[in-house]
Structure 1
Amino acid sequence: MTRIHDELFGELEYEKKFWRGEMTIKMFNVERKIWLSVDGHEDADFSNVQRDAFRNFVQSMNYIISEAEKEVYAYYNENVDEYREILEEELQENKIAPKIDFLTRLAELVKPTELIVRRVRKNGKRRLGLLCDVSWEMEDGLGIKIEDEVVEEVGYQDIVL
């Protein structure tokens, strides 16, 4: 495995078309260590857009995460009844997809696992994807699509993969 120390991204190891390292974020008032994955070739020639995307995220992390939390809360509340119907058992419903009144309750249900710094496309947007494991969707998880420091979409992880 190829390893590097990048001035911005830190210690990274090349694995399956991504450079992977670690970082810490605070989401739903819980600090967690997550994977940092930078989309790139083995030569580690990251674009300025990728660097700007990550640098801007780090500088505005509290604001961006706060907006992401609100969007996840809205997404959850829009879909929770559907998830509860699938489960059928009340005990399971209340554990896996409980009705919640406060955003902070999501800390028990949503666990961020990885921030992906995507390659630049023709539109030149700074693209990030925040992946989360969630209690109600074990297979597909949750993805938070961030473009130019704005939370654009919340849904299954495939929206950012």
Structure 2
Amino acid sequence: MKMNDAVFGELEFNGYDWIGYKNMEFFGTEVRVAVIVSGEDEEQFEAGQYGAYNFLIEKWDQLQQSILKAILDYYKQERYELGYEVEPNETYPLIETATQLLKQITLVGIFVPDNDLINLFDIGLTFDCTWDMENGLGICLKKGEVMQVGYQDVVL
């Protein structure tokens, strides 16, 4: 089943969620991201979903810096907890700057939860990352504030 939503664009229902694709700029690089909107096949989205998505798109240029800082903090903490400060590991190289970090991550998805999750977060972002190809990286945002950073499954 397919539909064309005025806000989310062309979407296809996969049995669980609605999925479409959008080109976005992330720190000067255009990437194609999956837009996943939680919802039933009745094609009716909630006002909160539109609001959260529109907020993300409108504030995207400003939000990128705080998102990148949160990822860098998370990465440094993960590296420390795994002991790679002492015993170097080529999978988890020393990354100290945003520029170094940008070479290791790729924005791949935007998840818009329904009202069941909207109290926890209103937008999820997923990234592929070189240090954990299997689990990737996920960020939960609420009104533009980073609430949680972890594996992709924190979002989905």
Superposition TM-score tier, normalisation by shorter sequence:
0.7 to 0.9
**Residue 9 (str. 1) matches residue 4 (str. 2):** no
2:102 is matched with 107
- Tell me how far apart the structure 2 counterparts of residues 123 and 114 of structure 1 sit (CA, whole Å): 17
Structure 1, unpaired ranges of 5+: none
Is contact 2:15–2:41 with CA below 8 Å preserved after alignment?
no
- Tell me how far apart the structure 2 counterparts of residues 154 and 123 of structure 1 sit (CA, whole Å): 16
Report the Cα offset of residue 100 of structure 1.
Answer: 1.9
Q: Runs of 4+ in structure 1 displaced over 6 angstroms?
A: none
2:46 is matched with 47
Q: Which SS does the other structure have where 1:78 is aligned? A: helix
2:126 is matched with 131
Aligned length: 154
2:63 is matched with 64
Report the Cα offset of residue 160 of structure 1.
Answer: 1.4
Match for residue 114 of structure 2 among 108, 114, 119:
119
Is contact 1:13–1:20 with CA below 8 Å preserved after alignment?
yes
Change in CA separation of 1:147 and 1:109 when aligned onto 2, cut-off 3 Å? same
**Residue 98 (str. 1) matches residue 93 (str. 2):** yes
Q: Which moved more, 1:48-57 or 1:118-127?
A: 118-127
- Tell me how far apart the structure 1 counterparts of residues 79 and 107 of structure 2 sit (CA, whole Å): 19
Q: Which moved more, 1:116-125 or 1:60-69?
A: 116-125
Is contact 2:121–2:147 with CA below 8 Å preserved after alignment?
no
Q: Which SS does the other structure have where 2:56 is aligned? A: helix
Percent identity reads 28
- Tell me how far apart the structure 1 counterparts of residues 131 and 82 of structure 2 sit (CA, whole Å): 7
Partner amino acid, structure 1, of 2:2: R
Is contact 1:49–1:124 with CA below 8 Å preserved after alignment?
no
Write the mapping of 1:142-153 to structure 2, written as runs, cut at 5 A.
Answer: 142-153=137-148
Q: Deviations over 1:73-127 (max 9, x none)?
A: 1111122244574xx7x6xx34x32112311111221111110000013875661
Partner amino acid, structure 1, of 2:36: S
Q: Which SS does the other structure have where 2:44 is aligned? A: coil
- What TM-score, normalized by structure 1, do the two folds share? 0.85
Structure 2, unpaired ranges of 5+: none
- Tell me how far apart the structure 1 counterparts of residues 99 and 59 of structure 2 sit (CA, whole Å): 20
**Residue 18 (str. 1) matches residue 17 (str. 2):** yes
1:156 is matched with 151
- What TM-score, normalized by structure 2, do the two folds share? 0.88
